[in-house]
Amino acid sequence: MSGGVGGILGAHIVLYSRDAEADREFVRDVLGFPGVDAGGGWLIFKLPPAEVAVHPTEGEAAHELYLMCEDITALLAELRTRGVEIAREPSEQRWGLLAAVRLPSGAELPLYEPRHPTAHGL
């Protein structure tokens, strides 16, 4: 790993869910992320490359997860064919196109097509 602390090997993101089993199946079966069983059915999924941004806030600190895509229109069309509910249709933001899908638990999972430089090519 160049440019970072040598012992860090990745990021582990935790999504809290009111229906963890159904949301795990969604990540595995609908999004197609491969994973491992860490024991007792606790699935941990491999993610595409990730990046982290630190934004200022005047309120309480919070953390967000967005899945980035190359073509949000195509991705949403594919997810619709898989029976996924689109919770928010794409909207233009100053940084890209933002949408969200509904997880089986009822929570929203934001998706966006970035219109800003990304760190993926580093």
Q: Is the confidence at residue 2, as pLDDT, over 90?
A: no
Residues 14-31 pLDDT 10s? 999 999 999 999 999 999
* Structure-token pair, residue 4: 């970072």
For the chain, the average pLDDT equals 93
pLDDT confidence tier of residue 120, bands split at 50, 70 and 90 = confident
Q: Give the dihedral sign, CA 70/72/78/82.
A: positive
Q: Read off the pTM.
A: 0.88
| Fold of the domain spanning 20-114 | 2,3-Dihydroxybiphenyl 1,2-Dioxygenase; domain 1 (3.10.180)
Query: What is the distance between the alpha carbons of residues 104 and 119, in angstroms, rounded to a whole number?
Result: 31
* Under 8 Å between Cβ of 27 and 45: yes
- Alpha carbons within 13 angstroms on the beta-carbon side of residue 25 total 6
Q: Strands 96-102 and 86-93, how do they pair?
A: antiparallel
Q: How many other β-carbons are positioned within 10 Å of the β-carbon of residue 117?
A: 7
Q: Is the confidence at residue 47, as pLDDT, over 70?
A: yes
Residues 61-94 pLDDT 10s? 988 999 999 999 999 999 999 999 999 999 999 9
